[in-house]
Chains A and B, each alone.
Chain A
Amino acid sequence: MSIKSNSNLRESLVSYLFLAPFLAIFIIFLGYPMIYSLYLSFRSTTFSTDWYNIFGNMQYVGLANYQSLLTDTRFWWSLGLTLSYAVLTIPASIALGLWLAILLNNKLKGASFFRSAFYLPNVLDLYVVGTIWVLILSPNYGLLDILLGKIGLHLPESGLLANPYTALPTIALVIVLKGAGFGMILFLSAIQNISESIYEAADIDGASWWQKLRYITLPLLKPVILFMIITGTMSALNAFTEIYAMASSKYGGFGGPYIEFQGQSVGATSLSGLYLYQLFERAEYGKTAAFSYLLMIIALIISFLNARLLKVEK
């Protein structure tokens, strides 16, 4: 008994030595920030704050940060916009990824070339790719406008990214295109894991192409679809770079072109990530921390719902 606990103790000790670097980084940069963020969310920078020691010199304000956020139109607007961004990107990504996977699963010659070509944009720098798309989508001199001009059409004078109604869908489209390879690879490997014999059995039963997709392929791909919903939700909550690259100050306000909402002028692409950054940039660190916490609660609720959904499926 004592020998066993001794060896257990030794193993624990060795394990923690191996774990030490990772654990240290985790505690300092992921664990502690959670608590620190909560602490900051009850404080606020004021006029008298020492700007060389901002974080150590913030005033306790109680729940004021949370209160002002929850009564802020722009806060709710940003959440609504994040939701619509998720709705714009997630189903389209799933559909496009699945479609490409089905096309590539035809055992074509050169399939590996197409697979790489579609996957490549996924690993490229989001900010840079967004910037290139700004050039392509620009009114008057952008490639899209010039090509449309050849068939007698023209983009609206403001262009797609400066128009409050088309800005977010356009960005969503670019992101779906850029990320298409991600879903494609996941679906492709899942499809290739489905046993041929199931399809053969269905063929014998005289199932049509659509029936096979609907009753065999899709149900077996459900885990991948759920995974894509989870990662898609995360990306929508994390979305910043693509918006900043494509709809920033050159076209109207910080969060894209302005639009009227409940008597307030709000950015048409001011997603929660953008609004969070805006608070951060204005050095309203208390409010930023409170926003972070609210976002985290939302993320955890979504994750919980997703987990429930996964369980039901299983």
Chain B
Amino acid sequence: MERFSLKNFFVYVVLSIGCLIALLPLFWMLIIACKQQGQALKLEFLPEPNALTAPYQITVGKTNQVTLEYHSDSAQSVQVQTSFNKDQLVEMSNDNGTFWVNFYDVAQGEYEYEFIIDGVGSGIKSKLQVATDLSSNTKLKNASLSKNNSITFRFLGRGLLPVKALLADGREIELTKTDSDGYFTGQVDGLTPGDYSYRFSYARGFWDGIKEIYTYQNFIEILFNRDFPFLKFFLNSLIVASFSGIFTVAFCTMAGYVFAKKNFLGKRILWGIFLSTMLVPGLIFMLPQFAIVTKLGWINSYLGMVVPHLGNIFGLYLLRQYIETIPDSLFEAAKIDGASEWQLFTKVVIPLSMPIMLTLFLLVFVGQWSNFLWQYITNTPDSAYRTLPVGLALFKGQYDIRWEQMMAGACFSIIPITILFVIAQRFFVQGMTSGAVKE
């Protein structure tokens, strides 16, 4: 136990801040991945008790303005067809998933309208009464009507008071609940003609607020996305990384054993050749390996991603170093007991080398899990064998970036490795230090 000291306190502060910066991508990925569409890029983590809608525009002075509004998280574009507009298609403005449009000089009467979402009609003709009141229906959420010198606000709320309409000039109009459909209405009179901007302010409970900011839906959507099925990517990554790990460990252990304990023709030359390959940057092998894999017909296959990396020199070096520390007497004792060469390997080498084999497996697993470039070039964009980083790169290449979905995709790469690391970090650290310090 040590005493509290100012120096230690300072060290803790520095380390904590450093930690926060180092792990920032992790936190940020998680937060964004859980956000609703349109919320991803806002710096709002806990809901405010009074929420504000996006601003709306309305013009006073023109007779009879109608604002139509449609909410959709997935729609790219929404158009509306109204009978007072002779059924012409009108494009609606998009404000983070809230689509809206204003119509002016709408004559009194009853009209019909229909929303067309991404070019497909909703099939629901809704009724709208202008001049007397705005009709209610499920698709129409918030709607306002300007008539003569007054505005009538209509807001569809969850029933928590107060609900207010905030005009840009600072005026606040209390809305009261008027009908059973859940609409709050209020009116402001005596306005001078001109454009007015307003937002609705409404009270909400904490969990309602959380639900408006966060969702788990991103994960579901990305897992089963039609063009970018991350569940498939995840399984592909798992297969590629696991098989790379298993076979690399098997080959390196066998080779490491003979380099550590046997004398054979050409041992020194071979070792020299192996080690000098370690001095060559791996990128240089990209083209010829690609050519070989192409010739073998291994493009778009697990084989193409796994096999070229099984000759792991670093792994061989690691295993040789480790097996050299196994006392020769153990081998001699086993030989006297009549063990065959293969039995020496399976009964002596493998059980005693387990820790380093596990270390190598983890290092290779993590390495191949993240081997972006090779997996990127050995898969065509429509391949069924795309892995996580490749899938994410292709997802990112889309015209419209959905950050919350992209971060949900990132989670499938980052979280399993984080868990693996937390469980087995002793082996990770051992591999690194035993590889370096003995140079």
Q: Report the stretch among A28-36, A87-95, A200-208 that lies at the interface.
A: A28-36
The answer to whether B287 and A125 touch across the interface, beta carbons within 8 angstroms, is no
Closest to A177 in B: B22
Given the complex of chains A and B, what is the CA–CA distance between A254 and B23 in angstroms?
A: 28
The answer to whether A12 and B41 touch across the interface, beta carbons within 8 angstroms, is no
The answer to whether A129 and B25 touch across the interface, beta carbons within 8 angstroms, is yes
B166 at the interface (CB under 8 A from A): no
A-B interface pairs (CB < 8 A), number = 254
B345 at the interface (CB under 8 A from A): yes
B11 at the interface (CB under 8 A from A): yes
Contacts of B283 in A (CB 8 A): 237-238, 240, 273, 276, 292, 295
The answer to whether B414 and A103 touch across the interface, beta carbons within 8 angstroms, is no
B403 at the interface (CB under 8 A from A): yes
Please classify how large the interface on chain A is, using the bins under 10, 10 to 19, 20 to 34, 35 or more: 35 or more
The answer to whether B8 and A108 touch across the interface, beta carbons within 8 angstroms, is yes
Closest to A286 in B: B287
Q: Report the stretch among B146-154, B216-224, B252-260, B326-334 that lies at the interface.
A: B252-260
Main secondary structure of the interface of B (DSSP, over half): helix
A255 to chain B minimum Cβ distance, whole angstroms, is 15
Contacts of A36 in B (CB 8 A): 288, 291-292
Closest to A136 in B: B28
Contacts of A285 in B (CB 8 A): 287, 291
Main secondary structure of the interface of A (DSSP, over half): helix
The answer to whether B433 and A186 touch across the interface, beta carbons within 8 angstroms, is yes
Closest to B415 in A: A124
B294 at the interface (CB under 8 A from A): yes
Contacts of A224 in B (CB 8 A): 436-437
Given the complex of chains A and B, what is the CA–CA distance between A227 and B439 in angstroms?
A: 8
Contacts of B28 in A (CB 8 A): 132, 135-136, 143
B159 at the interface (CB under 8 A from A): no
Partner of A127, one of B277, B372, B377: B372
Interface positions of A (Cβ within 8 A of B):
8, 11-12, 14-16, 18-19, 21-23, 25-26, 28-34, 36-37, 40, 54-56, 100, 103-104, 106-109, 114, 116-121, 123-129, 131-133, 135-136, 141, 143, 146, 177-178, 180-182, 185-186, 189-190, 193, 223-224, 227, 234, 237-238, 240-241, 244-245, 249-250, 273, 276-277, 280, 285, 288-289, 292-293, 295-296, 299-300, 303
Interface positions of B (Cβ within 8 A of A):
2, 8, 11-12, 14-15, 18-19, 21-26, 28-29, 32, 41, 43, 250-252, 254-255, 257-258, 262-265, 267, 273-274, 277, 279-292, 294-295, 307-311, 316, 341, 345, 366, 369-370, 372-373, 377, 388-389, 392-393, 396-397, 403, 406-407, 410, 413-414, 417-418, 421-422, 425, 428-429, 432-433, 436-437, 439
> Other than the known A29-B308, A128-B410, what 11 A-B pairs have Cβ atoms closer than 8 Å?
A8-B265, A12-B263, A29-B289, A33-B289, A103-B15, A126-B372, A128-B392, A182-B432, A186-B436, A250-B396, A292-B288
